[in-house]
Amino acid sequence: MQKNKLPTIKEIAKKLNISASTVSRALHDHKSIGAVTTMRVHQAAKELGYEVNKSALFFKQQKTYTIGVIIPNLAEPFFSSALCGVEDFAENFKYTVIIGQSLDNLDREKRIVENMKDHRVDGILVSLTKDTNTYDHFESLKKYNIPIVFFDRVPNKKDIHYVAGNLHSGMLQAITKLVSMGHKKIGLINGPAKLAATLQRLEIYLKCLRANGLPVNYDIIVSTTLSKTDNVTAMQRLLDLEERPTAVIVFNDYVLLDCIAAVKAAGLVVNKDISFISFANLPIWEYMDTMPLASIEQFAYQQASKATEFLFELIDANNNGQSVDFKYLQCIIDSEMVSYSS
């Protein structure tokens, strides 16, 4: 055997003076091979430093024991928590997780999908970019029999597998809290127009205003692309109004951090001159001197864990030759407001 070269089945067979086919079956503990021979083969393989060719094994089994996860940004606590949910569930099935960050770039998202397809992952979990409004790159995976489950940021479609947060429950709690504190002009800083969650937030915001007997004022509804500059600009638009809102619901905590900076720069006091409630419930708030009245928990870990459960159900169906096209696996998880101050 050459130095720095992995040993082969033939070398094990030569060492034990048995056939290569016997070695192969023994390495896989085939019942046709006796216990003594199986033990000798495993011992010889260990002594020689033999490793199973997993690529060949995976090819034979037609699966790679890997799944892909595409998220906007791993630096965000929401998505790092979601990834923990994916990996914890996948570990139960001895699967490896391949991670791709789209960084909220549609072209990058498409490239990641293509790369994961080329690596023949057994399935993919996706949280969309803020600009994703076409889904051909996902549809193309059907012919490769690679199932997809979306979570959190999901397409505005019915014929998909997904897990998402119920924004209504948290939004209603937030607006009800603000109304109970005497706020009647409650603004909204919403997200990018192409993101399905943006339309959902607007519809739910309007519904919750009406449920609390408040009129709709479109002057205090603004949006942002989620960039720092745009976040500050959106907040400034509200501050420049002759009758600015006394409270604002903000798309997420990251946007709110920029809004808080804008409010302070204007010489105003957060939760005195203008109050905030946002989405995401970032863990950083407990370390901040300035925080919102509340933030809405969307349960990233639970969403991603449930989405992974769905994905393995689809993978299992594929392995058993079952069709699941007629049955879309879908789940909505209630959001919940977490109060920081009254």
Q: Hey, what are 169's tokens?
A: 């429950």
Q: Which amino acid is at 257?
A: L
Question: Under a CB-based contact definition with an 8 Å cutoff, are residues 276 and 250 in contact?
Answer: yes
Q: Can you tell me the distance from the alpha carbon of 204 to that of 198, in angstroms, rounded to the nearest whole number?
A: 10
Q: DSSP letters along 241-280, please?
A: STT--SEEEES-HHHHHHHHHHHHHTT--BTTTBEEEEES
Q: Hey, what are 1's tokens?
A: 């055997």
Number of H helices, E strands in the chain: 12, 12
pLDDT of residue 1: 47
Q: Hey, what are 218's tokens?
A: 């479109």
Query: Which pTM does this prediction carry?
Result: 0.79
Q: Can you tell me the distance from the alpha carbon of 27 to that of 16, in angstroms, rounded to the nearest whole number?
A: 13
User: pLDDT tens digit string along 140-194?
Assistant: 998 888 999 999 999 988 899 999 999 899 999 999 999 999 999 999 999 998 8
Q: Can you tell me the distance from the alpha carbon of 111 to that of 109, in angstroms, rounded to the nearest whole number?
A: 5
- Which domains are assigned to the chain? 9-52 (1.10.260), 65-165+300-334 (3.40.50.2300), 167-297 (3.40.50.2300)
**Mean pLDDT of the region 33-48:** 88
User: What is the overall mean pLDDT for the chain?
Assistant: 90
Question: How do strand 221-223 and strand 148-151 relate by DSSP bridges?
Answer: unpaired
Q: Can you tell me the distance from the alpha carbon of 41 to that of 36, in angstroms, rounded to the nearest whole number?
A: 9
CA triple 176-180-181, angle to 5 deg: 120
**Mean pLDDT of the region 107-116:** 96
Q: Which residues have C-beta within 8 Å of that of residue 73, sequence separation ≥ 6?
A: 79, 101, 103, 104
